[in-house]
Amino acid sequence: MAETVTFTINGMTRTVVVDPALKLLDVIREDLGLTGTKRGCDNSTCGTCTVVMNGKAVKSCMVKLDKLDGAEVLTIEALAKGTELHPIQQALIDAGAVQCGYCTPGFVMELYALYEKDLDASETEIKNALNKHLCRCTGYEAIWEGALLAQKRMKEQT
Amino acid sequence: MGFQTIGKNVVRPDAVDKVTGEARFLDDLRLPGMLHAAILRPAYAHAKIVSMDTKGAEACEGVVKVVTGEGCDIRYGDNIKDLTPMAVDKVHYIGEPLAAVVADTPQHALAALEKITVEYEPLPVYVDALDAMADDAMLIHEENGDFWHLPTLSPKPGTNIAHYYHLTKGKGEEGFEDCDVVVEGDFLYPFGSSAALEPHGAIVWFKTDGTIEAWSSSICPFIIREDLAHAYGLPISEVRVHIPEIGGCFGYKSDITVEQTVAYIASFVPGRPVKWVASRKEDFTSTLTGHGIQTRMKLGAKKDGTFVALKTAVYHSTGAYADTGVNITIGAAHNSTGPYVFPNCDLEGYCVYTNTTPIGAYRGYGHQEVQFATERLVDILARKLKMSPLELRAKNYLGDGTVNALGERMWKTNGDVRACAEEVIGVIYDGDKPAEDDDYLYGRGFAAVMKSPKGAPFSTKGCYMKMNHDGSVSVNMGGAEVGQGLRTVVKQVTAETLKIPPERVHVYREIDTQFSPYEWQTIGSMFTIQGGRAAVRAAERLIKTLKKTAAQVLRCDREMLDYDGEYVFLRSDPGVRVAVPDLARGYIYENGMTVGEVAQSTSDVRLPRYSNPDEKGQGNMGVTYTFGAQGCQLRIEKKSGKILIDNFASTFDVGRVINPRQIRGQVVGGVLMAVGATLYEELEYDEEGNMLNPHFFKYHLPTLKEAPTQTVSFIENPGEIGPFGARGIGEHPVIGVAPAILNAIYDATGIDFYRIPITPEKMKAALQGTTNEVQHG
């Protein structure tokens, strides 16, 4: 039953023996021990498990492993450089967008995929991206402000 | 007042961990040798277990043990010991643990679960309290009345009533004889789920040395410790409970629930830690849910609008076990006055067993559910009196010198509801309401709210504080951080009291009952008040110790010394001083001789003068009431029935704002949660007790695009108890949301709704006159 997949995760090539019935989230959390990516539901609704795969934000709880071979995956663990936070991470902190923090890595990765693709993303595009995620604590206000702040700062840096 | 740290947007100590994914939640913990449990849930909500065959599961790959409830005699709970870790010969609700498989991986455990076969004898199912209270209703628990319970509770043996609470004030129901006008209504706040993004879970390890070690995403480590010790006959000291980061709570991860089930399972595999984490479906069906409260209310007043009498009957469908729901019933009943004076009250609460998932706290203890009724009915009364609902409220507000239903005198230090109301009215009723147009109807609504505390005789919070010899300070407490930001509060009040920068204060992360000071449980929006005060008290004691040592060094009386954060100095001659870090380990002279003592302190804080309810149901909750007001402006799209909230305003008298950004976050998040309950969320059961929507794609949580613009402000009448006058805020923002929205819907449409949620379909049906759930004005 077990199969082997080779893919790049956070810049490192890994070959993992997997049960094909599992999903990318299981491999990330259980096989690779990268627990920053969270499980919040089991059917692609909440967004806590969001990672970036081949440049796109995906909900890893629904990604089948046959899609994984040769893929490039980025998880929350890849964003900070040493102790220097990514501007998206810093902006979410500065805006007060962190409460329980369980949804936070998913939001960070969603914004990362969006801004890497298009730093000039419109407010509608940002809203559409954030709307794929659930947060039960913040009421989204601070997440929205953090998203705009991150975009502004990233633009200033480029 | 010149504060250094209070009132500043200090960044929460866990922020970096949480944006990097380094924060460790329960499911992130991996222990050597750890096994995984999967739990079987019944096919019926109420049935006898005729037989169970586990052989097929035992033969599956990776399976270590299959566990059933056969012969289990554990009954647990902290209010009523009616809970069992696993069903014994009957199942009582659809999410009840029925059997479990322990295996090497979660997948193997889940696969083996499917091989367990169960034969049931179905029994009548009661989803609603009123049905379960019928004379001919079958008993969900034959043992009702025999379960150990707190002496303040009154179960009714031979019925499904787990507790009957009755409060009378003044002439009680006879007060209606003095009324000119009476209005009545029947209101429903249906089942809901706190639905934190992190599902509940636990790890329990029965160690070979006979002790128990547990981890849980719970806010009640000390309850868990005591309850496990009781169940397994251990000294409390032999049970150690750890709490990692918690991914949201809102009430349902309180008390003790899943931990006893995981412990029971783990007790069959001593020596190996066993982990269980709820799937999202299990989080809905098997962990605590919320609300389930029907309120029948009758309100009487004089012609001039003075309130005279209130009669409330709370029918609480509390679920299959009442341990966690009983305090919600009580809280609902005595909070049903809202923020108003009623000279005469007759307030009843029926906590009723039903074949539904047990109810627990949900951002409050019945506050939002019952004040939904109060605030709707006050509007309805105003119409009958032909008065402005805002003026009617203003005539009757609780305030300094008045007495509430429990018989407690209110003080200015409890906050000023009038000032909150004026602030919200200024926002919501500023200018004229837009006139109806082709697409929309427009409405404005208001609600004033009261939040009582939730006390207990021993509801204490402790603090350990130590100063390090570089002058930095470490604070250790037992308050569970669920996202609300209590560790930031501890940091700020400690820094303020010690007159040092917040960066010099390190606040605890993990809670571990082996090292953490005792804390009853982190519930009821009480941490800022009590925990904050415990931190202030510990800091003051620490300063006292510093002064005591300095008095030896400076050879003077302690009373002659002052402390400014950097030095302890002679008040009369500030040049005579010792630097604070030099006093942290006692004072060490050049020759190595040391005097004084290490600068560390402990403290604890309880609710002042809390007392149990007396024979009239009255008592003292601990005098930390908080008042507020909320209101909204909304539009209703005629075509779709969609309700669009253009602005939602909230003002609370919180005594003192410790951290403006965090407190706004609490209010904005709380309001949206209650907008969810008002417009979208309802946990639905069919007649057989099956839960129909235990998934996020069926149980709709509001998303970013559905979040209204919010106006939030605070009044600061300092309280006497909390640090620097602060009161709680966590649960408060949900209380007035549903009535404010429904009052605005009436303002827009002339239609009275009595239950939530108001989905577009329901709104449209009401506009078209095709529903009997509403009344047209």
Contact A45 B485 (CB under 8 A): no
If you average pLDDT over residues B361-387, what whole number do you get?
97
Is B705 in Cβ contact with A131 (below 8 Å)?
yes
Q: E-assigned strands of B670-723?
A: 710-715
Sheet containing B440-451, strands listed edge to edge, beginning at the edge strand earlier in sequence:
B440-451, B626-637, B643-653, B710-715
The per-residue pLDDT for range B334-345, each reduced to its tens digit, is 999 999 999 999
Q: Tell me the pLDDT of chain B averaged across its residues.
A: 96
Are the beta carbons of B21 and A37 separated by less than 8 Å? Answer: yes
Please name the residue that has the structure tokens 């004026």.
Answer: B422
Tell me the pLDDT tens digit for each residue of B204-214: 999 999 999 99
Token pair 């109420």 is at which residue?
Answer: B46
Q: Are residues B405 and B424 in the same domain?
A: yes
The answer, for A33 touching chain B at a CB cutoff of 8 Å, is yes
Name the residue in chain A with its Cα closest to that of B659: A96
Q: Do B202 and B228 sit in the same domain of this protein? A: yes
Answer yes or no: is pLDDT of A1 > 80. no
pLDDT in tens, B213-236: 999 999 999 999 999 999 999 999
Chain A residue nearest residue B706, CA to CA: A131
The answer to whether residues A146 and B11 touch, using CB atoms and an 8 Å cutoff, is no
- A-contacting residues in B 314-333 (Cβ below 8 Å): none
B476 and B442 in a common domain: no
* B27 interfaces chain A, CB cutoff of 8 Å: yes
Residue of A36, A43, A96 with shortest CB distance to B22: A36
Query: How far apart are the C-alpha atoms of B164 and B178, rounded to whole Å?
Result: 27
pLDDT band at B184 (very low <50, low <70, confident <90, very high): very high
Distance CA A12, CA B429 (A): 59
Selection from B16, B299, B47, B263 nearest residue B179 by Cα: B299
pLDDT of residue A149 exceeding 70, the answer is yes
Residue B133 falls inside a structural domain? no
CA distance A125 to chain B (A): 12
- Pair (B541, B646) in one structural domain: no
Indicate yes or no: CB of B696 within 8 angstroms of CB of A133: no
**Helical ranges in chain A per DSSP H:** 24-26, 87-94, 104-117, 123-130, 141-157
Q: Which of B11, B12, B20, B630 to substitute to test the interface with A, most A CBs within 10 Å?
A: B20
Q: Which two tokens mark B364?
A: 């409050």
Of B11, B280, B695, nearest to A93 by CB-CB distance is B11
- Interface contact A123, partner B, CB < 8 A: no
Q: Rounded mean pLDDT of B30-38?
A: 97
Q: For residue A96, give the nearest of B198, B665, B695 by CB distance.
A: B665
Chain B CB contacts of A80 below 8 Å: 20
Give the number of other Cβ atoms within 10 Å of residue B553's Cβ.
Answer: 17
Inter-CA distances, B60 with B103, B104, B265, B370, B668, Å:
9, 11, 18, 50, 49
Does residue B636 register a pLDDT over 90?
A: yes
Same domain, B480 and B559: yes
Question: pLDDT value at position B619?
Answer: 83
Per the CB < 8 A criterion, the answer to whether B192 and B683 are in contact is yes
How far is the C-alpha of B407 from the C-alpha of B257, rounded, in Å? Answer: 34
Which of B25, B670, B704 has the CB atom closest to A102's CB atom? B25
Average pLDDT over residues A110-127: 98
Q: Report the first-to-last Cα separation within chain A, whole angstroms.
A: 48
Whether B383 has a pLDDT exceeding 90, the answer reads yes
Picking from A98, A137, A138, the nearest residue to B19 by CB comes out as A98
Closest Cα of chain A to B110: distance in Å? Answer: 13
Token pair 């005789």 is found at B457
Other beta carbons within 10 angstroms of residue B611's beta carbon come to: 14
Q: How far is B22 from chain A (nearest CA, A)?
A: 6
Q: How far off is chain A from B329, nearest CA to CA, in Å? A: 25
Which parts of B426-494 are beta strand (E)?
A: 440-451, 461-467, 473-477
Q: Searching chain A, which residue's CA lies closest to the CA of residue B9?
A: A96
The closest CB to that of A99, out of B11, B485, B672, belongs to B485
**Domain final position from B575, B605, B635:** B605
Question: What is the C-alpha separation between B315 and B162, in angstroms, rounded?
Answer: 12
User: CA A111, CA B19: separation in Å to the nearest integer?
Assistant: 12
Antiparallel, parallel or unpaired: β B643-653 and A3-9:
unpaired
Question: Chain B 240-299, CB below 8 Å of chain A: which residues?
Answer: 245-250, 277, 279-281
Whether B568 contacts B552, CB under 8 Å: no
- Strand, helix or coil for residue B268: coil
Please give the C-alpha separations between residue B531 and each of B222, B279, B523, in angstroms, as whole numbers: 15, 33, 11
Angle between helices B367-385 and B326-334 (to 10 degrees): 30
Cβ(A39)–Cβ(A29) below 8 Å: yes
- What CA–CA distance (Å, rounded) separates B653 from B149? 36
CB < 8 Å to A76, chain B? 20-21
Q: Which CATH code is given to the segment(s) A87-157?
A: 1.10.150.120
Residue-level pLDDT at B532: 96
Separation of alpha carbons B97 and A72, rounded Å:
41
Return the residue matching tokens 């709490």: B243
Sorted by sequence, the CB contacts under 8 Å of residue B432 that are 6+ apart come out as none
Question: Quick check: B412 contacting A, CB < 8 Å?
Answer: no
Q: How far, in Å, are B174, B539, B581 from residue B500 at the CA level?
A: 59, 11, 12
Instruction: Answer yes or no: do B555 and B570 share one domain.
Output: yes
The residue segments making up the domain with residue B430 are 293-455+611-776
Closest by CA to B328, choosing from B338, B339, B317, B337, is B317
Task: Give domain status of residue B538, yes or no.
Answer: yes
Q: What's the rounded mean pLDDT across residues B273-282?
A: 98
How many angstroms separate the CA atoms of B463 and B479, rounded?
9
CA A71, CA A69: separation in Å to the nearest integer? Answer: 6
Question: What percent helix, strand, coil does chain A show, rounded to 5?
Answer: 40, 20, 45
C-alpha distance from A62 to closest chain B C-alpha (Å): 14
pLDDT of residue B458: 80
Partners of B370 in the β-ladder? none
- Structural domain count, chain B: 3
Residues B26, B505: Cα–Cα separation, whole Å: 26
Q: Do residues B596 and B689 share a domain?
A: no
User: Cβ of B19 and A48 within 8 Å?
Assistant: no
Predicted model pTM: 0.97
Instruction: Quote the CA–CA distance of A91 and B717 in Å, as a whole number.
Output: 33
Q: Do residues B477 and B370 share a domain?
A: no
User: Cα B724 to the chain's mean position, in Å?
Assistant: 23
Mean pLDDT rounded to a whole number for chain A? 96
Q: How many CB atoms sit inside 10 A of residue B324's CB?
A: 26
Segment B297-326, tens digit of pLDDT: 999 999 999 999 999 999 999 999 999 999
Q: Which residue bears the tokens 């809102």?
A: B250
What pLDDT, on a 0 to 100 scale, did the predictor assign at position A114? 98
Cβ A38–B247 below 8 Å, yes or no?
yes
For domain A3-78, which architecture applies? Roll (3.10)
d(CA B263, CA B74): 11
pLDDT for B452 beyond 90: no
Extents of the domains making up chain A: 3-78, 87-157
Res B355: pLDDT = 98
> What share of chain B has pLDDT > 70, as a percent?
99
User: Helical H runs in B555-576?
Assistant: none
B622 pLDDT above the threshold of 80: no
The answer to whether the CB atoms of A100 and B482 lie below 8 A apart is yes
**Domain edge (last residue) among B558, B580, B605:** B605
Mean pLDDT of B409-425: 94
Contacts of A147 in chain B (CB under 8 A): none
**Claim to verify: residue B407 and residue B464 sit in the same structural domain:** no
Question: Residue B623 pLDDT more than 80?
Answer: no
CB contact under 8 A, B16 and A85: yes
Residue B370 lies in a domain: yes
Q: Any idea what the CATH number is for the domain that residue B681 is in?
A: 3.30.365.10
The answer to whether B48 faces chain A, any CB pair under 8 Å, is: no
B660 membership: H or E segment, kind and range: helix B660-679
Q: Given a cut of 90, is residue B770 above it in pLDDT? A: no
A80 CB within 8 Å of a chain B CB = yes
As given in the structure block, the two tokens for residue A136 are 């039960």
pLDDT band at A103 (very low <50, low <70, confident <90, very high): very high
Cis peptide before B235 (omega within 30 of 0): no
Find the residue in B nearest to A83 (Cα).
Answer: B16
* B315 closest CA partner among B188, B405, B406: B188
Whether B567 and B620 map to the same domain: the answer is no
- Residue B615 — pLDDT band, cuts 50, 70, 90? confident
pLDDT in tens, B70-98: 999 999 999 999 999 999 999 999 999 99
Measured in angstroms, the CA of A112 and the nearest CA of chain B are apart by 12
Strands B201-206 and B505-507: unpaired
pLDDT, tens only, B711-766: 999 999 999 899 999 999 999 999 999 999 999 999 999 999 999 999 999 999 99
Spatial strand order of the sheet with A12-18 comes to A12-18, A3-9, A72-74, A50-53, A56-59
Residues A112 and B19: beta-carbon distance below 8 Å: no
Chain A contact set for B26 (CB, 8 A): none
Residues of A in contact with B483 (CB under 8 A): 99-101, 137
Q: Does B554 touch chain A (CB under 8 A)?
A: no
Quote the CA–CA distance of A123 and B606 in Å, as a whole number.
Answer: 48
Q: Are the beta carbons of A101 and B11 separated by less than 8 Å? A: no
In this complex, how many residue pairs, one in chain A and one in chain B, have their CB atoms less than 8 Å apart? 161
Query: d(Cα B265, Cα A157) in Å, to the nearest integer?
Result: 54
**pLDDT tier at B771 (50, 70, 90 boundaries)?**
confident
> 4-23 in B: which are within 8 Å (CB) of A?
9, 11-12, 14-23
The answer, for B32 touching chain A at a CB cutoff of 8 Å, is no
- Tell me which chain A residues have a C-beta less than 8 angstroms from the C-beta of B247: 38, 100-102
pLDDT in tens, B503-525: 999 999 999 999 999 999 998 88
- Which pLDDT score is estimated for B64? 98
CATH code for the domain of B219: 3.90.1170.50
Q: Tokens for B220?
A: 């009640």
Comparing C-alpha atoms, which of B421, B398, B395, B400 is closest to residue B411? B400
Two structure tokens written together for B624: 């930390």
Altogether, the residues listed in chain B come to a count of 777
Same domain, B213 and B276: yes
> Do residues B480 and B381 share a domain?
no
Nearest Cβ partner for B483 among A37, A137, A140: A137
Write out residues 163-202 of B within 8 Å (CB-CB) of A.
194-199
Eight-state DSSP code of residue B436: P
Q: Does A139 touch chain B (CB under 8 A)?
A: yes
* Per-residue model confidence (pLDDT) at position B777: 66
What is the Cα–Cα distance from A111 to A114, expressed in whole angstroms?
A: 5
